[in-house]
Amino acid sequence: MKKIEAIIKPHKLDEVKEALNALGVAGMTVSDVRGYGRQKGHTEIYRGAEYTVDFVPKVKVEIVVDDMLAVAAEEAIVAAARTEKIGDGKVFIYDCESAVRIRTGERGPEAL
Amino acid sequence: MAPIDTGDTAFVLLSASLVLFMTPGLALFYGGMVRAKNVLSTIMQSVFAAGVITVVWVLAGYTLAFGSATGPLGGFIGGLEHLGFSGILGQVTGTIPTGAFAIYQCMFAVITPALITGAFAERMKFRAWALLSVLWVLVVYAPVAHWVWGGGWMAAMGVKDFAGGIVVHATSGAAALVAAIMLGRRLGHGTSEIAPHNLTMTLLGAGILWFGWFGFNAGSALAANEQAVSAFIATHVAAAAGMLAWLAAERYHSGRATTLGAATGAVAGLATVTPASGFVTPLSALLIGTVAGVVCYGAVLLKNRFGYDDSLDVVGVHGVGGVLGSLMIALLAAKSVGGVSGLIEGNTSLVIPQLVGVTVAVAYSLTATWAILKVIDLTVGLRVDEDIEISGLDLAEHAEVGYSL
């Protein structure tokens, strides 16, 4: 199994979700996160005083898939999340040792 | 005894309700500008004033401000014959029952100390604020109200302040300056992001302030008459002009017209026109609002240069606005509106009283507020501990959070 962690632009979440659904990825976990890479932050102005906000809002999508699906899932995320502008985000892929479905106790790919 | 006018009485009672409504409006205006972890403690400071100052006003504040102005101390402080609002029922002030006047003035005493809270947002102990609000109304607000409105020495020398440029905005602005300096800057001020957490709340608060200000200014005529109409118009026109001028200034200076700028500009226009509202024509009010928007914007920028942390700009908006408006009376007063002429009608006699009135009120508030804060600092302490300031005052001081999502 592989765990795929994608940091994407918030407005791209729906497209990423649909692309993964189309591949048969059964579930995902999503969080609102803030961070920066090459994009850096933005400037806000309150009563003439400028504030530099370093951390830009992003969405983190986490999925775990069977090894066979990993490459396709990665490609689907990249294709769906890409705008070709700075700040599109990144995808990280890890080996996932084990998984358990809490309700039934199933283990491994059956638990996904 | 003069007859009571029912129309005037109804108008003043409704105006009193409008002025009371400004205090929760101010709470939202300020509450939106702080960080989420301090939203309740900020709102609480204004809301608490509505409770504690009302009690203080009934018991002693009213008589110190509006008790008899005779005797050796009469020019400086009111007599004690109205302690506990005694001897008020059955009396008449102008064309309204004295009780209507006394409760109308109560609402002014509530909001004036609440204005100061913006200067020390996000770092003052609640206990310190509880003491400050009470002492400040008794030691600063009531005497100055007596000087100007209660027949005291400023009234005797002809100082004009229709609805509180000197009594409300200059005194609270001066107190705010002292408080901001004495409490020191918030942790992380100037180095990390300390940005408003909910400007929608601030804009709603500004709207409530604008709405309530009609009671504040038009109601100060104490009658539903032509002067009240003039004050109503001047109030609205100055708020609108203040907003536009502020937006123009910041668009020119920082490149964007902001919502916080729109709200602040309107409040600057309102604060500045307050002392002049019953004395000036609509076009003069337009000028006052425009000057207020630009000058107050500049004053707020100046704060950043001086490096003190008047967190929500009480000095730049209320202090500067109150002083500016009080001085502009001497220039723009129109005899046809309020019965007195300013420089534009060739009368120079207002210049000295307005200058003296503003200067003494500001100097007195600076000094007395400093002394009050010193006493509080030496007894219960002014500022919360560093760990509380970092984790937020709401939980530590009130055991609540504004948002649990």
Q: Answer whether residue B405 is part of any domain.
A: no
Q: Which residue of B has its CA nearest to A47?
A: B261
Instruction: Name the average pLDDT for chain B.
Output: 97
Structural domain boundaries, residue B361: 6-394
CATH architecture of A2-111: 2-Layer Sandwich (3.30)
pLDDT digits (tens, 9 = 90+) for B105-124: 999 999 999 999 999 999 99
Domain assignment present for residue B284? The answer is yes
B51 in any annotated domain: yes
CATH no. for residue B132? 1.10.3430.10
Q: Is residue B401 part of a domain?
A: no
pLDDT by residue (tens digit) across B33-84?
Answer: 999 999 999 999 999 999 999 999 999 999 999 999 998 999 999 999 999 9
Of all residues in chain B, what percent carry a pLDDT higher than 90?
Answer: 96
| pLDDT-derived band at B1, boundaries 50, 70, 90 | low
Q: Can you tell me the mean pLDDT for B3-28?
A: 98
End-to-end CA gap in chain A:
9
Q: Do B260 and A48 touch (CB under 8 A)?
A: no
Chain A residues whose beta carbon lies within 8 Å of the beta carbon of residue B250: 45, 47-48
CB-nearest partner of B260 from A46, A50, A51: A46
- Alpha carbon B72 to its chain centroid, in Å, reads 30
B252 to chain A, any CB pair closer than 8 A? The answer is no
> What number of residues does chain B have?
405
pLDDT of residue A104: 95
SS (HEC) of A80-110 = HHCCCCCCCEEEEEEECCCCECCCCCCEHHH
Query: For residue B206, which amino acid is it?
Result: A
pTM: 0.90
Q: Is A98 on the interface with B (CB under 8 A)?
A: no
Centroid of chain to Cα B147: 17
Q: Which chain B residues touch A50 with a CB distance below 8 Å? A: 254
Please give the tally of structural domains in chain B: 1
Residue B35 backbone class (left: φ over 0; alpha: ψ -120 to 50; beta: rest): beta
Q: Is residue B87 situated within a structural domain?
A: yes
B193 closest CB neighbour out of A45, A47, A51: A51
B145, B196, B246, B370 from B314: Cα distances, Å = 20, 15, 16, 16
- Work out the minimum CA distance from B119 to partner chain A, whole angstroms: 15
Please, where are the H alpha helices in chain A? 13-23, 67-81
Interface touch B304/A45, C-beta < 8 Å = no
pLDDT at B297 over 80: yes
Per the domain annotation, does B402 fall within a domain? no
Is B394 touching A (CB cutoff 8 A)?
Answer: no
| Contact of A25 with A73, CB cutoff 8 Å | yes
Choose the closest CB to B313 out of A44, A47, A53.
A47
Q: Which of A44, A47, A53 sits opposite B300 (nearest CB)?
A: A47
